[in-house]
Structure 1
């Protein structure tokens, strides 16, 4: 089991508000150096880390949360599976890209909502403002993650990678986000 090595002083509920490289609008503007591992000269953000550990962590049916960033890692691992399902069922790369964008926007439940599958790990927001910030942060995180998963799982225009799509049918922690 691999845990996140990233840290942040900022939190939303009990989720770490980690910076990441993104082109999508939202509460994260840019990557801040204090969220990146110092031994990595190119900088690794939470999405990179989730993708890097995905193929190892996917086989676990339990996950011990050691820090707030681990919650981000769990959420993104589950979201990567949803992305792979979309990619595996898409007719072409452009359709997959559009479907992933729609998926990122359509998943609007946050901790505390009855439909949110990780309520036992995540703390619900303390107030409406924090809830809006969490919803915006998770949406921005999903949008950027979808783009990166697509670039890995469907690197060329012809067919998706079987080495990524084979994980579309797996469950992490016996949970699905959708």
Structure 2
């Protein structure tokens, strides 16, 4: 797998991202409260269903997750080349879970209820928990304080990803979801789910 634009920019940054275990806390372009460093929004503002250009300082890992989701869904294996890949993998699993919540005839409002309930549910596993998939690839937080920080960051990622995904799934018609996005509901990335 070739190096993505975001991975290249992360490699060129003078300071590596903060890690909890080996899960990165990367900057996000978000209005959702949480511990992530907030990236600037593009100027002029983009429609909700669009991502900034890869070279833009506003482009973040969640844009990368949504951009690569459909291609990566077919992978049974995924080579982790750095910390950003662990967040990419987690994001792809979460997007898959969100898509499974969207019914083929659901309006944007109904889907938002289901997906936002999933995103806002704080009862999810983090690396090191028994229910977390692929614990062998993820190191657990070293203490309770790190675990709480990681959980807050992952909750922020989940809420922002849910919002961006819904904007794309209902980009053309708010009365029904995109069949192109829903065609991936039966696929399990690496045969795992959250």
Q: Fold conserved (TM > 0.5)?
A: yes
> Does the alignment pair 1:130 with 2:146?
yes
Greater CA drift, 135-144 or 92-101 = 92-101
Residues 84-138 of structure 1, C-alpha deviations (whole Å, 9 max, x = no match): 1112357321121121111012252111111111212111000000000000000
- Rate the CA distance shift 1:113–1:141 in 2: closer, same or farther, 3 A: same
- Residue in structure 1 matched with residue 162 of structure 2 by the alignment: 146
Gaps of 5+ in 2: 11-15, 41-52
Question: What is the CA–CA distance in structure 2 between the aligned matches of 1:110 and 1:99, rounded to whole Å?
Answer: 21
Does the 8 Å contact 2:34/2:153 carry over to 1? yes
TM superposition score normalised by structure 1:
0.89
Q: Alpha-carbon deviation of 1:54?
A: 0.9
Q: How many residues align?
A: 174
- 8 Å CA contact 1:3, 1:70 repeated in 2: no
The answer to whether the 8 A contact 2:20-2:150 is kept is yes
The aligned runs of 1:1-178 (5 Å cut-off) are 1=1, 4=4, 5-6=6-7, 7=10, 8-31=16-39, 40-41=55-56, 43-88=58-103, 91-106=106-121, 107-155=123-171, 156-177=173-194
Deviation at 1:80, TM superposition (A): 0.7
Rounded to whole Å, the distance in 2 between the matches of 1:136 and 1:89 is: 31
What's the CA shift string for 1:25-65, capped at 9, x where partnerless?
Answer: 11024117xxxxx9713631000001111111111100010
The runs of 4+ residues in structure 1 deviating greater than 6 Å are none
Q: Contact (CA 8 Å) 2:28, 2:39: kept in 1 or not?
A: yes
Unaligned runs of 5+ in 1: 33-37
